[in-house]
Structures are given as C-alpha cells and as structure tokens.
Amino acid sequence: MKELIKRLVEAYGPAGSEECVRNLIMEEVRPYVDEVQVDALGNLIAIKRGGSKKLMLSSHMDEIGVMVTHIDENGFLRFYNVGGLSPFSLIGNRCYFANGTVGVFGTEQLDAMKDLTMSKMFIDIGAASREEAAEKVRIGDTAAIKREFVDLGNRLVAKAMDDRIACAIQIEALKQVEKPVYDVYAVFSVQEEVGLRGARVAAFGITPDLGIAIDVTRTGDTPKSATMDVALGKGPTVKVRDSSVLCTPAVRHHMEEVAKANNIPYQLEVLERGGTDAGAIQLTKSGVPAGVMSIPCRYIHTASEMVDYRDVEHGVRFLVKLMETEYKG
C-alpha cells in the first residue's frame, strides 16, 4: 500500500485541477467496483452495490496550492493561495505546474520575518523576462508544492497527505470489502480545500442515507503544541466536531461500536479549526446523518505532512467494517 500512497501524494492536484489524481484513482478502483461516474464538477464516484440503503464515503482528491496572479517584466510570478496556506511554510520550498514547470518561492527584503505575507512573495521559474515566463506559465495557472514522499518506517512524510492518504484508504477498503451491506458510493471529491464544494454537489446527487468523510486531523503530540487529544499511532479518530460539522451523535456512536466490536483502536477527535466534506454532506436536502474518520497528521498544509502507517492500516480495516455493518440510526 505504501507504493500506492507514494503515487497518490506525488500526483499533481491543487483544488480545481484534480484530473491527474482522478485518472490514477479511476484505474485503481475500476476492477473492484460495479460502476464509475464523473460528475460535472469532476468528482469521481465509484459505486459498489450491496444493499438498499446508500452509504456515501468522501475523501478529497485536491490539495492546497498557489495560483499565478501576475507576471512582472523580469519574469517573476506573483501568486495567491488556493486553500489555507501560510506564507511561512513556503520559504525554501519549490512548486510545480501541470506542465512540469518548476518554481522556487522567494521573498522581498523584510525588516522582520513576522512581516511576511503572501503579497511579499514571488515565484522564480528561472525566466529573465515576462515573455520568457509567459512561454511556460499563464495567469490563473495553479501550482502544487513539489516534495517527494519519504518512508521513515512507521511514519510517512509527504505533501498532500491531506487528503490523498484518505484516498488511499478508501481505495484499499474498496479492494478488501467483500459484502458491503449498503450500496456504497465512494466519492473522491474535488475542491474541498476551497470550501467543501465537490462533496456538496455529490451528496445532492446521491442523497445518501449515511455519509462518512475521511480526512486528516491535527495532533497535540509535538513539543509545546496546541492542546489536542489526538496523537500519531493511537489509531484513526471518530470525529466529534470541527468548524464545518457537529457529527450526528448516532453516527458517532455507531462508529465507536464498530471500532470496539472489531478491536480497532480509535481516538475521539475535537478539532478546533478546519472543516471536512461531512459538513457539506450533513446539510444536504433535508439533512443526512454524517460522521468522520480522521487520520492523525502532523504539520498539515505544509510540504511535509506526517502520518503513522499503523493508523492508516487500522483506518482501512475500520472503513471495511463500516461498509459491512448496518447503521440503524
């Protein structure tokens, strides 16, 4: 599974430009599902039939990135963030565009580092003039962080663990599940990082009886971190809340029962800031019961997001069992 994770996290896919990731996932899941659809926004919906009720799963394919806003006369690019991105996390980093063009993030001279904002930064693609730069990059092009996958043993590090690690888990669970008790609509959603947009239309189209999003969540297990009762290596989480959702209590309870019945370690998660596709699913039509399984992740929205592989393996098993266990509400 590490090989699949490496391919997924290294694929190019800022919000709105998910086609490389979608093609990769489509090839991967097609043999294991009954039907594959792509909707107007670009969501990939893999359907595996097994029951009368509909279970919608959602993992987002998009990652954070940057968009070109201006090219100056010396060939430097100005940019804005696509999704939540701190300018500090970009210093010393590289990005790459869909056509393979690589750029380096630079900063203007600053009196103090705390004065750094996105508008004081630029991307250097090695061009010496506007004309030369324009041969490779246009206004509105998006770039993703460029950084390779690293396997540290139990811990895995890469850009875009948010949320490709969940895409990998969802793919692997579709491969392993034998008898789902639902018609499973496994959505690989687009544009989560800019406001849960893909999941919103996918849920409207599917009208699920139950929705479960899979995403990463923060941890409180690094030196002097913010207080948070989630740590790497202690299992996937059952989310209680984040900024987008108060998970349906009966779904939370159901998820805890499934974890306990199958001896899957899990943690309860209260995330103070950040949202998930469950927020969009839950508010569909007259409301959908919704929950979230998260994979603990350090350094979210940086070039080096870190997860624990044992949490990933437990996450796959948890998701398989959730597909095989009926939610009674």
Q: Which stretch binds Co ion (CB under 5 A): 100-108, 161-169, 176-184, 256-264?
A: 161-169
192 in catalytic set: yes
- Let me know: does 230 contact 218? Beta carbons within 8 Å: yes
CB of 217 to Zn ion, least distance (A): 9
Catalytic hit among 28, 63, 172, 192: 192
Q: Which stretch binds Zn ion (CB under 5 A): 66-74, 159-167, 237-245, 305-313?
A: 159-167
Q: Does 269 bind Zn ion (CB under 5 A)?
A: no
Q: Is 70 helix (H, G, I), strand (E, B) or coil?
A: strand
Our CB check for Co ion shows the closer of 162 and 183 to be 162
Neighbours of 225 (CB within 10 A): 11
The one of Zn ion, Co ion, none whose footprint includes residue 63, by CB under 5 to 8 A per kind, is: none
CB of 192 to Co ion, least distance (A): 7
Q: Does 63 bind Co ion (CB under 5 A)?
A: no
Q: Does 28 bind Zn ion (CB under 5 A)?
A: no
Q: Does 162 bind Co ion (CB under 5 A)?
A: yes
The one of Co ion, Zn ion, none whose footprint includes residue 215, by CB under 5 to 8 A per kind, is: Zn ion
Residue 162 Cα to chain centre, angstroms: 4
Which residues make Cβ contacts (< 8 Å) with residue 112, sequence separation at least 6? none
b/e for 79-114, b at 16 or more Cβ within 10 A? bebbbebeeebbeebbbbbeeebebebeeeeeeeee
Our CB check for Zn ion shows the closer of 59 and 101 to be 59
CA distance 156 to 61: 18
Query: Hey, which residues between 192 and 231 contact Zn ion (CB under 5 A)?
Result: 215
CB of 127 to Zn ion, least distance (A): 33
Q: Which of 18, 62, 63, 162 binds Zn ion (CB under 5 A)?
A: 162
Our CB check for Zn ion shows the closer of 18 and 163 to be 163
Q: Is 151 helix (H, G, I), strand (E, B) or coil?
A: strand
Our CB check for Zn ion shows the closer of 121 and 167 to be 167
Q: Does 163 bind Zn ion (CB under 5 A)?
A: yes
The residues that are catalytic are 192
Q: Which residues bind Zn ion (CB under 5 A)?
A: 162-163, 215
Q: Which residues bind Co ion (CB under 5 A)?
A: 162
